[in-house]
Amino acid sequence: MNNGRFDRQIRLFGKEGQAKIRACNVVVVGVGGIGTHVVQQLALLGIGKLTLIDAEEADESNRNRYIGLKHEDPVSGMRKVDLGERIASEIDPEIEIVKIFNTVICEPAFDAIIETDYVFGCVDRDGVRLIINELSSAYSRPYIDLATEIIAGKSITYGGHACVNLRGKGCLVCLDLIDTAAAGRDLAGPKIEATEEALYGVNGQYLGSTGPSVVSLNGLIASIGVTEFMVSATQLREPIRLAKYYGTAGKVVVSVDTPQSDCYYCRSIRGAREAADVKRYIREGIGSFLR
């Protein structure tokens, strides 16, 4: 390991801390607007192994915010996992990189999360976030969930959060960070979309659709998440359980909300491993329609 390259970091958390980062195996689910920032920063920190999970290719609308996406890159045609690999490899070719060009709901992705030291979730759909939350809880994997939101209209609001699900001290569900109704629609699949379209006149293609997104907001949330990874991996301090950015007010607030004492994910299945049967999502074929 080139200590000269990492000199300014070593001044913060020492050679031992840098060695701990180098030994880290990290999974990033979703190599998009937030995920490309995360990949870049993890590579700069000097992690040793990186697994990238994404089933999509970049498109023209991604050019405003994807780190590393070049003007000459073909869209479609550029797989997001390949973009993540290029970002990391150009910074540090010694990083071991594994690419899973598939939804997270598949055997290789589940196995990667089960074996990892940390998992970053950088995804849009609440159904996917719920599954990662359940899987990481069942196998006691530290899960850092990152999300942004922009609500346009007469009164624009924007912000985001970084949540660290660690040691059963609060997860996305008991901290009320998942829209359970949206997650239910995601997991029910095309049938519920067709039903809601028939009942309410809602075009199924817009259910769970993405909204506005900008590079700086993604970068801010990614930086908070990577910082919490850094302090946890090097043991500088205990990571913050939940940080929320309120862009309209221009402030970051550390949540002091008390997680639910009877949370199913933090209490009932935490550390249950195979007994939690999270792989039922794979058997049920949810990965075929949920990305």
Percentage of the chain lying above the pLDDT 90 cut: 79
Which domains, ranges and CATH numbers included, belong to the chain?
7-259 (3.40.50.720)
**Taking the complete model, does pTM exceed 0.85, yes or no?**
yes
DSSP 57: B
What's the whole-number mean pLDDT along residues 137-157? Answer: 92
Q: Tell me whether strands 143-151 and 118-121 are parallel, antiparallel or unpaired.
A: parallel
Please check whether residue 224 is in contact with residue 252, taking contact to mean a CB–CB distance below 8 angstroms.
yes
CA gap 31, 28 in Å, rounded: 7
Q: Tell me whether strands 118-121 and 25-29 are parallel, antiparallel or unpaired.
A: parallel
Per-residue pLDDT tens for 12-53? 999 999 999 999 999 999 999 999 999 999 999 999 999 999
Residue 30 neighbours by CB under 8 Å, 6+ apart:
53, 54, 121, 122, 123, 124
What sign for the dihedral angle of Cα 243, 150, 230, 165? positive
Unique residue bearing structure tokens 């990662």: 132
Per-residue pLDDT tens for 187-239? 887 655 555 554 444 444 444 456 899 999 999 999 999 999 999 999 999 99
